[in-house]
Amino acid sequence: MSAEKDMKRGERQIFVVDVIAHQKNTWQGQIHWIQGNKRISFRNVMEMLHLMDSAISAGDSRARQETDRQRQNERKRKAELELQYELKSLSLQ
């Protein structure tokens, strides 16, 4: 399972920024997302911030989807148990 899928909503994320150059009043370099185990180059500070935001948003989205799936499975299991109980009580009468 990937680190993105394991990320919990609101969990602290760590990025290591390696500024390789400073040209045209902005930074160029690489960003390493520790939890996602990904490294990508950026050409300016805005792109770097966008990459960071995208990584966190993608992880949050996956965490929400997983939570929704778990809730749906719990509801399905509860409905199955209720049906089994009803069938059992009908057979006892």
Model confidence pTM above 0.75: no
What is d(CA 28, CA 22) in angstroms, rounded to the nearest whole number?
Answer: 6
Q: CB neighbours (10 Å) of residue 42?
A: 22
pLDDT in tens, 16-53: 999 999 988 899 999 999 988 889 999 999 999 999 98
Domain spans of the chain, in order of start: 11-92
Contact 62, 4 (CB under 8 A): yes
| Mean pLDDT (whole number) for 59-77 | 77
Enter the tokens of residue 28. 């160029």
